[in-house]
Amino acid sequence: MSARPPTRRDGTALSLHDVAVAAYLRGLGGLVRVLEIVADHAASTGIPAATFLATPIVPGFLPFGLQADAACEHARYDTALLLGDPGARPPPSVRTFDGLTAATASAIGLVERLDRAALDEAGGRLLVVNGETVSGSDYLLQHSIPHFYFHLTAGTLILRHLGVPLDDPDFLWAAGSEAGAAAVERASAGSTR
Amino acid sequence: MTHGFYDATVPVYRRGLNGLLTLLARANESSGPDANPLDYLGSTAAEPLRPISGQIVISCHKAGNDMRRVLGRPVLNWPSVELTFAGVNQRIHETCDFLAGLGVDEVVQAQQATVTLGSAAKGNLRTMPATDFILARSLPQFFFHLTAVYVTLRQAGVKIGKPDFLGHL
């Protein structure tokens, strides 16, 4: 369980695993909380949860379900890219509510199992992405994680626009909190069953 | 990660702010002769979010003032005035210049610092390691506010795509 933020009080430098894994887990833990809130809202309004996944708020802008899937995919694919050849990046998948919940739990499980030494070492290797040569660590910190946060935030704003009661923008990063950490634990337990 | 805490902060904030400048440039281009880019600055994505001008100012504070906090420097208080299009661009540039001027060593050393938030008067004084403050709070919130600007501009009809903002991935 490493959803808590990285704290290095011993003076050693932060490593890529410290920073990246904590960011993905925090964001995905927030997504687990968001999905719980969507389910509650669907139950109390009688609106199917699937509606919140599939309703776009701007033409051409991915709806929440695809934004959330894209976030999961950044956590999974981008780290896999550092560690080897994961093949082509798949487009975001249209999923059912349960399918998205499972995909989120699966991404959490994958990130939790990332090998610290292997990821840190991969951070020092260069890779070419869209014609740009970057180090593995810059790829995660400057490209992957900003895109990851983008999709999580976009998904949140879409849900708010659709009337889902997500009152505090900070909830999205709540995996460091008790509720968020518990949500990650639940999702993580589900992913290993 | 060659430079630890530096690599995780300064280039990340700078890249995000540069993306914001590109978004604003697109908004300016697409505003045309009969629309004012200032119209966009007052738009808001979803209540109770702040309008774009406020989102931009907060983004700059997340990047600039949060780094000042971990470096033990006084934070910048910009006067609360209605911002023009040139005004928000100016603040983003100022923030980028501040970040560009930070030395690798001073930021790496700031990893050891602690940050105190809240106030004794309000009874919510709390201290946390600089790494937690930046990585668990400041950076996620920074990207939240940047993304709020993007989504609001999309809703307002500005022709932008995610690559304009964060590059292709």
Q: Which residue of B has its CA nearest to A144?
A: B169
* A-B Cβ pairs (cutoff 8 Å, strict): 129
B26 CA: distance to closest CA in chain A (Å) = 17
Q: Is the pLDDT of residue B43 over 90?
A: no
Q: Which residue of A has its CA nearest to B149?
A: A154
| pLDDT score for A90 | 86
Nearest Cβ partner for A6 among B16, B45, B135:
B135
* ipTM, two decimals: 0.90
Q: List, for residues B70-104, the tens digit of each pLDDT value.
A: 999 999 988 776 678 888 899 999 999 999 999 99
Query: What average pLDDT does the segment B138-163 reach?
Result: 89
Q: Between B28 and A37, whose confidence is greater?
A: A37
Q: Is the pLDDT of residue B161 over 90?
A: no
Q: End-to-end distance of chain B based on CA atoms, in angstroms? A: 20
Query: What average pLDDT does the segment B120-149 reach?
Result: 90
Q: Between B129 and A85, whose confidence is greater?
A: B129
| pLDDT score for A24 | 94
Across chain A, which has 193 residues, the per-10-residue mean pLDDT values are 51 85 91 93 97 92 96 96 88 93 95 95 91 93 95 92 80 54 57 41
Chain A residues 40-79 with a CB less than 8 Å from chain B:
57-58, 61, 74, 78
| pLDDT score for B156 | 82
Using a CB-CB cut-off of 8 Å, the residues of chain A touching B143 are 146, 149-150, 153
Contact A14 B5 (CB under 8 A): yes
Q: Which residue of B has its CA nearest to A56?
A: B155
Q: What is the mean pLDDT of chain B?
A: 87
Contact A58 B155 (CB under 8 A): yes
Residue for token digits 């997504």? A31
pLDDT band at B115 (very low <50, low <70, confident <90, very high): very high
Using a CB-CB cut-off of 8 Å, the residues of chain A touching B141 are 169-170, 173
| Strand bridging mode B114-117 / B126-129 | antiparallel
Phi, psi of B14 (to 5 degrees): -65, -40
Contact B7 A141 (CB under 8 A): yes
User: Which residue of A17, A19, A127, A148 to mutate against B (max B Cβ within 10 Å)?
Assistant: A19
Q: Which residue of A has its CA nearest to B144?
A: A153
Residues above pLDDT 90, as percent of chain B:
51
Alpha-carbon distance of A7 to A90, in angstroms, equals 34
| pLDDT score for B47 | 61
DSSP state of A9: T
Using a CB-CB cut-off of 8 Å, the residues of chain B touching A16 are 1
| pLDDT score for A83 | 94
Alpha-carbon distance of B164 to A189, in angstroms, equals 38
* Chain B contact present for A129, CB below 8 A: yes
Nearest Cβ partner for A146 among B7, B141, B166:
B166
Alpha-carbon distance of B104 to B106, in angstroms, equals 6
| pLDDT score for B120 | 86
Length of chain A, please? 193
Contact B141 A150 (CB under 8 A): no
Task: List the beta bridge partners of residue A126.
Answer: A135
